Amino acid sequence: MNNYSKTESTKLNSSVIYNLLESDGTFSQGQEFFNYFSLAPNDVVVFNGSADFTITQASQNIYDFQFTHPVSLTSGREYTLCFDAKADGNRTLYVDIDSAGPDSYDSLTNQPSTLPLNINYQTFTLTFTAVTTDATARLVFHLGGNSTHDVELDNIGVYEGGICGEPNVHKPAGSGSDPSDTSFDPNFHIYLAFGQSNMEGTAPFTTADYINDPRAQIISNFTCPNLRRVYGEWFEAQQPYFGCFGSIGVSDSFVQSLVARVPANISIGLVPTAIGGSDIALFEKGAPIGRGNIGTERIPAHFDGGYNWLLDLAKKAQRRGVIKGIIFHQGETNTSQPQWKNKVSSIIENLRQDLDLGDVPFLAGELLYRSAGGCCGIHNTEVNFLPELINNAHVIPAHGLEGVDNAHFSYNAYKIFGERYADKMFELVY
């Protein structure tokens, strides 16, 4: 890595070079998708035009305090990492882009670096060729070790090519996330789908359930070697939609029914982020329960919770099309908790604001009725309260649907339920 003064590097190129990080590297928008972790409970990070780290105690390992951001790299392409850093005394800082675990943290730059910091801002750059393709890689700074000197980071960016760009300039929606993307299509209508197991699906599927229509597309929410899918890339709708080993749920017939009904020039895309057994707090902004007991191994490793995972995929999707609505099924884990409905309302408000969606339709499905053997039908009182809290919210009824246990619907019930979601969405959007 080479360093030079902050003033010398204020503008390295007059043409537009986009920051590949989804967040504003100047921190003028706060934390966004940057994540941090420290073993020391009193360590603090403040985001206010820079990322300011207060380090209260030394640690055994440099990785005991980590600051990370997700980034996608393509094998053989040249990239440049740029950032400014200083400390309140002489110390070192480790930086790299790696494979984000959890099984390994292999360097994708082949140039992990330990850098000397002092009381003056320095600008560091690293130009490298990615050694492998990884859509779920992470930029990582290690601030642990035997120093308690505080650190400031600013103007962080990863750029394609050999020079730095502007850390607060990102590729506009519709321009394609990378050269392999097709161009933005206003007739590509995208729907966010999140919740827990009935959205994720529990019913087995066969190839007969494939839609076999290229107008039905799913964005991959994981990298799945067994399916040859890469996180953040689109694939023609074939089960599983959620994860690498999923089943059929509400969203399958929702997509199938919409594709069959919309005009031939309209395509349908789904952004799937559901975790069976998850608490609604898993999807709250700010990750109040982190990755959750259920979600620990089922959310890509570089996200601190479900909200940032959903938001990241949604922003990737907006580069290809227009988000037209949100479908949701969750509540079994939070049955009869009166604050549940307020948490759902806050999640939808934040999604609409962070994605600039306006009041797109929000559809929430009822839980399996007690008359069908459901454990949690009493929670439908809370579900049916959502339209009073959320503009353009609608409840999809579960009457007449059978279950296979006390929480989950049958294969046939999922088919009917998804069609009910599609009927309502078609009525509201088309």
pLDDT tens track for 381-396: 999 999 999 999 999 9
Rounded to two decimals, the pTM is: 0.66
CB 323 within 8 A of CB 355: yes
Q: Are strands 35-38 and 65-73 parallel, antiparallel or unpaired?
A: antiparallel
pLDDT score for 289: 82
Residue whose token pair is 């002489």: 90
pLDDT score for 7: 35
pLDDT score for 10: 36
Instruction: Assess whether 336 carries a catalytic annotation.
Output: no
Active-site option among 197, 251, 253, 257: 197
Among 353, 417, 418, residue whose Cα is nearest residue 391:
353
DSSP state of 224: B
Tokens at 35, concatenated: 């994540």
Report the interhelical angle of 340-354 vs 306-318 (nearest 10°): 30
Model pLDDT for residues 200-241, shown as the tens digit of each residue? 999 998 888 889 899 999 999 988 877 878 788 899 898 999
pLDDT score for 183: 66
pLDDT score for 294: 62
User: What contacts 24+ positions apart, CB below 8 Å, involve 221-226?
Assistant: 221/271, 221/272, 221/273, 221/300, 221/309, 221/313, 222/136, 222/300, 223/134, 223/135, 223/136, 223/300
Instruction: Assess whether 209 carries a catalytic annotation.
Output: no
Active-site option among 69, 142, 302, 408: 408
Instruction: Assess whether 405 carries a catalytic annotation.
Output: yes
pLDDT score for 172: 58
| Measured CA distances, 249 to 172, 287, 306, 310, 373 (Å) | 33, 25, 19, 18, 18
pLDDT score for 14: 40
Alpha helices (runs of H) in 184-249, residue ranges in sequence order = 197-200
pLDDT score for 386: 98
Residue whose token pair is 């009041």: 359
Low-confidence ranges of the chain (pLDDT < 70): 1-15, 101-103, 172-183, 293-297
